[in-house]
Every structure is written in structure tokens, then in C-alpha cells.
Structure 1
């Protein structure tokens, strides 16, 4: 008989039957995409209901008085635009059209709403994109400088400038900028997106600056950039002030953390501490404000576009609302809602990339 104890029975390997767990970031993205799809359906429902609650009769707004007095013409017009159906059936028809990329027919331009939006949306995207780019560069830089030089003269000056930027009405600033820089000083071009003598660049993306670069037309690019500068800076002033204040607060909060003090105690260069420790932790609130600001720029450019004769979605929405062009109004609402949805999804993704604690919840 052997004196050695029996060896314990082998433990079965149960890992083979287990499914490999998905990466936390992948699970986080899947949840956010599913939530975005649910919100997209909600946007279609809310846009349709609110548009149909607008006071006024689209028949009276689109037909003349003589045609309005003929019941046969009114009935035919309602049947052509589906207004003779129950509201729930109108929504189902509208939703079915959306699934096929059909936003309906504009009652004013007599073109598909998708074609109208494809013409006007790039102009607003170019204007809002330039404004948010300038805002991010200047706002974050000013906020970091103000935080690093807390309670000094530069900090007080930047805080006053940010307060002015937040307080000044954008439409008033647009009027003053147009009057001073164009009418009095003749330093900037007037209205439109490009000089009439040059004409637009061959359309590819709808963005004049990008299309001019793709076509190699530097004259059109410089003209488009000059036309873009003043309205973009006017729109950016409010966002610059907002980002300056939020960045300053976020950076000051991070500068007081223990791990920042430990990094400085180790003798790390100030540049490394700022970019690797401070800014990365402060980016979460900054990204939130920047995303909301970009959505506000896209949906709030009506007056600035009117003053600078910028052919964007703001002008299209205003004309559609005044004429009760319901398909066009719903199309604009869907575009604005989709923009906010995409921005929120992008912000959520950046949260998960920057801060691992977000995607592990």
C-alpha cells in the first residue's frame, strides 16, 4: 500500500462553456445605440404631434380666398395632402414615408422636403461648425488660463469678457457687427456665402469652403472664408463665454484633487500634469457643454442668418412656419432632433472613451 495520499480529483474546466464577455466599451455603445433608436422614434412622434397642434389652417394658408370658397377644391387639396385622414393614420403614413426616406412634399416650393433640406442644411452646418470650432479653441484656452492664474488680473479680465459674451444678445451683436465692419469700415463682405462674381464651387458636400478646396479654387475658398468669418464669430461669442466659465470651474476642481498634488510632488513637468491629469479629468463637463452648445447653434441661427442673408435652415424654417407648410416644418423639426440625438450619442461615446468609470457602470 502506498503511503502517499491520493491526489485530489481534477477540477473540471468550466470556462470552455462560458461565453466570452463583451468589452465594457462595446456593451456601453450597444446600450447607447439602442437608446438612441428609441429616442429617434420619440422624436418623430413628438414632432408630428406638436406640428399638428400649431394653431391655424394650412388650407387657408396655402389656398387663395377664391379657391378657399370652393368646397370641392378644399376637399381635393386635403385629400392630396392626406389631411382628410384621422390623425393616427396620418402619423402612420408619415412614419412609413420616413422609413423610405420620404419627408413629404413642400406645399410652398412644390419640391420634396428632403431636397430642400439638402440645399439649406449644409449652409447652417458650415456656419455652426465654424462657430463651435472657434468656441472650443478660444473657450477652453481662456478657461485654462483663467484657472491657472486664479484671482490675478488676467483671470478677472477673462471672467468679465465671458460675462459680456453670455449677456450680449446675439441678434443685437449681429446687427452691430454688420453695420460697423461692413457698412462703415468696409472690412468684411456683405451678405451671402460667396461673392456673386465668383459663384459657388462645384457642389460636393454643400459646404462652400470644403467644396472650394476639393475643386482647387482658392479664390472661392478665400471668399467663402471671408463671408463665413463675421457671422461665425458673432455666433461663437456666447459659446466662448460659456465654455470659458465651465472650463475654469472644471479645471479648478481638478487642480484641488490629491492625485494632481501627488503628480506635482513627483516632480512631473507642469505641461504633463496639465494635459495628462488635469485636462483629461476636466473634459467630461466641457464635452457636455460643447455638445449642447453645438445643438443650440444649429437650431438658433434664424436671426443671424436673416441679418447676414445666410441661406440656411433657419430661414427655411421661418418661411415654412409663416406659411403653415406642415411637411417642411416637420422636416426641420426632425433634422434638429436628429442633430441633438447624434450629438448626445457622440458625447456619450466620448464619455466612455475618456472616463472608464462611465462604461463600467
Structure 2
């Protein structure tokens, strides 16, 4: 290495650090905001859960036990309901800091263990749904924008309108009846065939766990059970992304830098990838992030129809039995998921558009 190369390397390193410093500050601010919002979520979930009408004692104890004041007092003391709401919240917050979400009153297991069992099922379903939605929604939106006011554009806009308008629960019932009951093209309910059994749990995602274990028959069964509910769940998001992508791409196509790229004689694929799609990604990412959070928190009816043992079913059973620790655990998980998604979206904003992180 020549003596003159060291200063140039040091200068290049300093320039790189100087360029990364605004992004580091941008990321630190977003993480700090996320931490504060996480604390706010714990407070909101606690307040809303305790405002639910109904008596958890009556929902969890039988009629004979309700007539015994000693049993009722013991049950309230055991679950901390004999203390004031501020004391209950402080106890709840202290337990959360130690990773304790409480004991479920319906399963008599730690809420954390229940969520570790049910959340991966919903993540698998919602994850496949959002991937399908992104691929098809962005592709359809690009085609509609590039074929503006042509038959393909009109057809895709009509399909997207239908996808937004059709209720998901009705579509799930119709798809289950047609493809499983009538045509027998897809497997029945559940995550795998009963004769095969679930693979050994590593990630909780049956397709991933079966592939890691080399159980390809279980993998094929899990994938077959996953396809239909994921497609049903993704229809609304596909339609939404199609409309937003079309609108965003049409707006970008009329901007000066796209015209300049065309004037330079750049290939069409380069203009679409580097100029149009990159500029249109910010609104697309926003919609995709919100849609993924909605998929995680809105799968109750789809999970019920396809007997999918996810967080939606767990939340429904917890609400019907007034299982307060489980309800707060589900609310906390859904809130944290939204926080993480929003943080990822904010970081992607900074990566895609440097102007965002410099504000």
C-alpha cells in the first residue's frame, strides 16, 4: 500500500460515515418513538380490556362457586382483581418487563405459551397472503397504469373494485364450498392432513418446519392447506394494491425525470424499474405495511371457516370467556406487530428516498 493511499482511504471512510450519520439519527428517532408507543400500547390495552362490560368472575366460575364469597374473593385475589386499577396496571407492566403475560383463564397455561403456539399459524397465513398480494397487486397496478384507458386497464379496475367490495367471510365460505366440497381440488380444514400430523416445531410455521425436517409429504400437505385460505385472505389486499399502484405509477409517469430518461434513450425496462417503480414505492410500501398488519389482526373469520388455529380464533375464545390476560396479550402482540411493521416501513422510506431521513 502506497503512503498516499492511506489518506484517501481515510477520507473515503469519513465521507461514508458522514453520509450514514443522518440515516443513523433518523433510525434512532424512529426506534425511540417505537419504544414510547410500545409503552402506550400496554396502557391502552389494559384500559380498554378493563372497560369491557361483564364480570370475569361470573364468566370463569360456575353458578355454585359464585354463591360462595370465599371462593370469589380467593379467585379475585389470585388474579389481582382485588387491587385498584393503577396497582393492577403496575403489576401488569412489571410482569411484562420480565416476559410474563399472565396465566390464561381458559387454557390454564401461560399466555406467552399460548401465543407462541397460535401466532406462528397466523404469521404463516398472513405472510403468504401478503407475498401473493404484493406480487400480483404491484404487477396488476403496473399493467393497468401502462395500459391506461385500454381494455386491460378497464378489466383490472373492474376486478379490483370487485375484490374490494366482496366481503371476505362470504368469499371464504364460497371458496370452501366450491373448491373443497364440490370440486375437491383443495384439502379440507386445518393446517395438515390428520393422518400425517404436524412436524416437529422449530419456527411454528408448518411449511418451514416440514422442509427443515425433510418431511416433504407433510410440506406438500401443509402447502395445500395453506393455498386456499391465503388466496381468499389476499384478494382484498391485491385489489387495494392494484388501485394504489396504478395511481402512484400514473403520477410518476408524468414527472420530469421520467421524461428525461426517455429523452436519453434509456431502455424501457430501465425506466420502469429505476425511475418509475422506485419513485412509486413509497405509497405502495405504506399500503402494504398497513395491509399486513390488517391481515394479522383480521383473520378471525377466515380462520374460523377453515379451522385454522391462529391468533384470531384464540382472541375470539378469549373475548367470549372474558379471559382478560389473554385479551391483553393478544392486543399487545397485535400492537407490537403494527409497531414493527411501521418501523420497517419508516426505514424503507429512508433507504428509498434520502429526502425523508434528512428532514
Q: What range describes the TM-score normalised by the shorter chain of this pair? A: over 0.9
1:21: Cα distance to partner? Answer: 8.9
Give the match for residue 125 of structure 2. 127
- Paired residues for 1:1-361 under 5 Å: 23-361=21-359
Output the CA distance in 2 between the equivalents of 1:303 and 1:329: 17
Larger Rg: 1
Runs ≥4 residues deviating over 3 A: 19-22
Cα deviations by residue, 1:46-74 (Å, 9 ceiling, x for unpaired): 00000000000000000000000111110
TM-score (normalizing by structure 1)? 0.94
Cα deviations by residue, 1:227-268 (Å, 9 ceiling, x for unpaired): 000000000000000000000000000000011001001100
In structure 2, list runs of 5 or more residues that go unmatched: 1-16
Give the match for residue 16 of structure 1. none
TM-score (normalizing by structure 2)? 0.95
Output the CA distance in 1 between the equivalents of 2:215 and 2:265: 51
Output the CA distance in 1 between the equivalents of 2:19 and 2:280: 30
1:108: Cα distance to partner? Answer: 1.0
Q: CA RMSD in A?
A: 1.0
- The count of aligned residue pairs is 343
Structure with greater helix percent: 2
Cα deviations by residue, 1:246-293 (Å, 9 ceiling, x for unpaired): 000000000000110010011000000000000000000000000000
- What SS does structure 1 have at the residue aligned with 2:107? coil
Cα deviations by residue, 1:116-145 (Å, 9 ceiling, x for unpaired): 000000000000000000000000000000
1:20: Cα distance to partner? Answer: 7.3
Output the CA distance in 2 between the equivalents of 1:120 and 1:188: 23
Output the CA distance in 1 between the equivalents of 2:257 and 2:117: 51
Output the CA distance in 2 between the equivalents of 1:143 and 1:24: 33
